[in-house]
Amino acid sequence: MKNLIIAALTVVATFSITSCAKKGMSEEMKTRMEAFETNWKNTGDEMAAMEKSMNTRIDEMKKMHTDAMGMDHDMKHDDKKMDTKHDHSKMDMKEGDMHMDMAQCTAIDQRISDMKAKCDAATATWEADTKSYNEWKDKVKKGEVENEAIEIGLKSWEDKLAEHKTSGMAMAKEMDALYSDVKAHAEADMSAMGY
C-alpha cells in the first residue's frame, strides 16, 4: 500500500512538473515576442504619424477644393464679384461644362469623404487590435498561455501586423492619388477662370 501511494505521488508530481513546463514561454519564444513587441510599437508610431499626416492632407484638400469651388461659383454666377485684374476672356465654360464641372466637384467631395472614413476606420481597427494584443500579451506574461498556444497566437498577430502595414501603404498611395486629383482639378478650375 505504501508503495502504491508513493507511485501515485510520483505520477502526480511528474504530471504537475510536465504541466508547468508547458506553460509560459521558451527562451526562443521570448526572443520572438520581444522582436514582435518592438515591431508592433514601431508600426503603431508609424500609424499615428500617418493618421496625423492624412488628416492634415484631407484638411488641405477640403480647403483647396472649397476655395476653387467658391471662386468658381462666384465667377460663374455673380459677374459683379469678378475682379477686373483677371482675364475673364479665359472663362469659356458653357452651361453644359458647368454641370459637368459640378458633377466632378461632387465626385471629388465624395472621394475626400470616403478617404476620411477609411482613415478613421483604419485608426479604429488599429486601436482595437492593439487593445486585444495587449490583453493577449498580458496573459502570456502571467504564464496563463502554453508555449504551443503562444506560438499559434504570435503567428496570428504577425499576420495581423502584416495586414496593417499592407493596408497602410495602400491607403497612403490612394491618398497621394486623391491629393493629385484634387490639386489638378482646383488648378484647372482657377485656370479656366483666369487665375
pLDDT tens track for 67-107:
776 654 444 444 444 444 444 444 444 544 554 567 888 88
pLDDT at 180 (0 to 100): 93
Identify the domain containing residue 65 by its residue range.
25-192
Q: Is 192 helix (H, G, I), strand (E, B) or coil?
A: helix
CB atoms within 10 A of CB 168: 18
pLDDT of 175: 94
In a domain, residue 14? The reply is: no
pLDDT in the model for residue 23: 61
| pTM of this prediction exceeds 0.85 | no
Nearest CA among 71, 56, 59 for reference residue 105: 71
In this prediction, the residues of the chain whose per-residue pLDDT falls under 50 are 4-21, 72-93, 95-96, 99
pLDDT value at position 113?
A: 93
Supply the pLDDT for residue 101.
66
CA–CA dist 162, 118 (Å, integer): 18
Per the structure, the count of domains in the chain is: 1
Residue 186 confidence (pLDDT): 83
Whether 2 is covered by a domain: the verdict is no
